[in-house]
Amino acid sequence: MSTRINTILKNHFSLSQAGLMKLEGYESTNYRVQCDSGAFVLKRYPDTPDTLALLEAENQILNRLDKLSGWEFPITIPNSKGLHLTREDGSIYRLLSFLEGNFLGDVGHTPALLRSLGRFLGQTDKSLLNSTEPAISAKESQWDLKNFRLNYKYLEFIPDPKDRSLVDYFFLQFDENVYPIGDQLRKSIIHNDANDWNVLTKKGLVSGIIDFGDMCHSWLINELAVALTYIMMDKKQPLEVARTVIGAYHEVVPLKVQELDVLYYLIAARLCTSVCNSAYTKTIKPESAYITMSEKPAWSLLRRLVGLSPVRVSDEFRSAAGFHESKKPKPAEQLKRRGQNLSSTLSLSYDRPIQMSRSAFQYMYDAEGNTFLDAYNNIMLAGHCHPSVVRAGQRTMAKLNTNTRYLYDELLSYSEKLLAKFPPQLNKVFLVNSGSAASDLAIRLATAFTGKNKVMALEHGYHGNTREGIAISHYKYSHKNGVGQHPLTLAAPMPKAFGSGFRDDGTAGDHFAEGSLTILAEHKNTIAAFVAEPVMGCGGQVPLAKGYLAKVYPEVRAQGGVCISDEVQVGFGRLGDHFWGYEMHDIVPDMVLLGKPMGNGHPIGAVVTTSEIAKKFEKGPEFFSSFGGNPVSCAIGEAVLNVIEAEKLQEHARVVGNHLKALLANLQGAFPEIADIRGSGLFLGVELSDTNGHPNTKLAAHIKNNLRQKFILVGTDGPHDNVLKIKPPLCFTKDDAAILTNAINAILKDP
């Protein structure tokens, strides 16, 4: 090949004795040419009509930029016939001047350099603002951010399903936040690739740029989006760096608020374009280091970006260009409106309630632009706004929404997939819309099946907000403002090993079982159902003492009742070692209640039971729920199961949960206020006591409120409200666990 290149150089450019060095490139083969008369770059392209038209247009642009004084751009060198493109042997050759200087990627990014980058891009863009080049406008490049969607086909090549979800999240956000206003964004010809290895510097300032192969007619703001993407990589303060570049650019080409507001999503889109293309390229050219070079920092910036609130980022970018921040809703006004239309029985978390505006995976963003690390909202099992779940909902809602009086695939497919998670005897599912509807229906099923009417439930348990739900929820009926115990409800003491005084979990289990058996004996043959959560949530994250259920279940059945496991809080893999909570107690219930995480925030609940129980119910009036089992909910439920499987969330909960538990145990060594750490996977409780061993409600509230100040969400609960509830979305990481425990450490150190 080098002989051929030398011949071209000699015959067409009268350059002989040239030293050649091959350079990296995407669409062309590039050579650095060194000879007595100077240094050049020779580029060789396949000779197609499109390439020819594009190169002619590119040459026009370079010609125009050449007149921009103070900056350096490659100059096209004419061949001996005076032509700027040389066509031979099915190739097009183009000789360019070689620009001296250090690459942006090889020098320190001082504020002065960042400002010069902003100014440089501003001036380049300004001089191109009114250029029209039909060949460039006609280009349909996947590297043009207005065509971001073209990269969606590469998503499947990203090997890690969690990474894939992160990228898909940003595709989704682009659809929601950028495309709808696309036609309002200014368009222009832009360089479109101001990265570390295209921008040149001299004496610590930007001097010029090379490689116009990605030039396109796109949204003007994309020029900055691309440059910022690379300049923000590997930076301690990426927003500060971006602000400096934006400020300097804005002085040359005044930006519009709308452009600054979409920059967050455009930067994410460029990162996603890059990782998508790297993933795809690796499958066809595994050795291509050049193309995958920026992959690692791109992933790390993408993960960093999702931890930054889009509200905050757009405010920062606005202020860098001298605009006001976005208007924020006033808390007092919101509270007033809430008070006007909603009952005050709906409580608000925290002394200073949070106005939530958006969320993503383990993060929630408030209206002021803060990012909260969510260690509390277990409903978002797969992560807030998980794209697979959102898409399943969007897709099905746009296709069909109806009820179980018709036949449709979504119901069949979901019920099969859900029941496959249970042992063979639990083979019927009733789909409803909440955990409350599930517990209510379960009690009806139990009374119909047994012909009995009493229900035994645990003290401090919670099962739902319907009349039936409240009647069996000690947490509500025995509350200071509660209605009191229902005559048909039997309350068994909470089998909690910690604080019980027994030497171990098993002995405590035996003791509590005996107590419950006494109640059973007193009400023999009248008890329709025994309902218990395998790990009690509202009771204060209490795993039922060992062996308790295994002793109680047979006796409930022996007197003609059924056993119900309320898995609304803990089901679907959160516990790590087990997919369902009952599995940790070595029993199989007759009914299982499902809800909360089942739809990752979409309202679905279910009762899973045996054919015998379902059959008896069929003798009564028809059971119908307008929404239970609708195709949209089923598609969402199935998407949740698929994500749990694909992202191995149960295993993730086990590993991260064990890690978090170990970090909490370290804290316990330093702070005797931490009386107990319990639970498993990512369903943990931290019980706090005072120096006398009494429940420390105040400290629990103090930690919760102070974590809120540190932008971390946890809850408190238990009979004395002295237990920290930790139950994050399962995408919570070991790093997140460290952030949480370091924050608790700081609060306990300085209470």
Residues in contact with ligand PMP by the rule CB under 6 A: 434-436, 439, 462-465, 533, 537, 566, 568-569, 595-596
* Cβ 516 to ligand PMP shortest distance, Å: 18
Give 368: exposed, middle or buried? Use CB within 10 Å, 0-12, 13-18, 19+: middle
CA–CA dist 545, 506 (Å, integer):
7
| Identity of the residue, 271 or 536, whose beta carbon is nearer to ligand PMP in the bound complex | 536
Cross-sheet strand order for the sheet of 102-103: 102-103, 199-202, 205-209
Q: What are the percentages of helix, strand and coil residues in the chain, rounded to 5? A: 45, 15, 40
CA nearest to 194, candidates 178, 214, 216: 214
| Identity of the residue, 410 or 566, whose beta carbon is nearer to ligand PMP in the bound complex | 566
* Cβ 199 to ligand PMP shortest distance, Å: 54
Give 583: exposed, middle or buried? Use CB within 10 Å, 0-12, 13-18, 19+: middle
> Pairing mode, if any, of strands 38-46 and 29-35?
antiparallel
| Identity of the residue, 101 or 601, whose beta carbon is nearer to ligand PMP in the bound complex | 601
**If you ran DSSP here, which 8-state letter would residue 398 be given?**
T
| Identity of the residue, 318 or 725, whose beta carbon is nearer to ligand PMP in the bound complex | 725
CA–CA dist 353, 349 (Å, integer):
6
**If you ran DSSP here, which 8-state letter would residue 586 be given?**
T
* Cβ 682 to ligand PMP shortest distance, Å: 16
* Tally of CB atoms within 10 A around 187: 17
* Cβ 438 to ligand PMP shortest distance, Å: 7
| Identity of the residue, 178 or 568, whose beta carbon is nearer to ligand PMP in the bound complex | 568
Q: Report the sign of the C-alpha dihedral through residues 343, 346, 347, 352, in that order.
A: negative
* Cβ 722 to ligand PMP shortest distance, Å: 19
* Cβ 574 to ligand PMP shortest distance, Å: 12
Check if the beta carbon of residue 84 is closer than 8 Å to that of residue 76.
yes
Q: How far, in whole angstroms, is CA 596 from its chain's centroid?
A: 18
| Identity of the residue, 596 or 708, whose beta carbon is nearer to ligand PMP in the bound complex | 596
Check if the beta carbon of residue 59 is closer than 8 Å to that of residue 76.
yes
Residues 6+ apart with CB under 8 A from 6: 16, 18, 20
* Tally of CB atoms within 10 A around 436: 22
Which residue is at the shortest CB distance from ligand PMP?
A: 435
| Identity of the residue, 595 or 601, whose beta carbon is nearer to ligand PMP in the bound complex | 595
| Identity of the residue, 151 or 433, whose beta carbon is nearer to ligand PMP in the bound complex | 433
Q: How far, in whole angstroms, is CA 605 from its chain's centroid?
A: 23
* Cβ 423 to ligand PMP shortest distance, Å: 21
* Tally of CB atoms within 10 A around 40: 22
CA nearest to 105, candidates 180, 206, 195: 195
* Cβ 641 to ligand PMP shortest distance, Å: 18
* Cβ 575 to ligand PMP shortest distance, Å: 14
| Identity of the residue, 594 or 664, whose beta carbon is nearer to ligand PMP in the bound complex | 594
**If you ran DSSP here, which 8-state letter would residue 271 be given?**
H
* Cβ 269 to ligand PMP shortest distance, Å: 36
* Cβ 436 to ligand PMP shortest distance, Å: 3
Three-class secondary structure of residue 302 per DSSP: helix
| Identity of the residue, 460 or 596, whose beta carbon is nearer to ligand PMP in the bound complex | 596
* Cβ 639 to ligand PMP shortest distance, Å: 19
Taking only Cα atoms into account, the Rg of the chain, rounded to an integer number of angstroms, comes to 32
| Identity of the residue, 62 or 379, whose beta carbon is nearer to ligand PMP in the bound complex | 379
What b-and-e string marks burial along 14-25, b requiring 16 or more CB atoms within 10 Å of the CB? ebeebebeeeeb
| Identity of the residue, 537 or 657, whose beta carbon is nearer to ligand PMP in the bound complex | 537
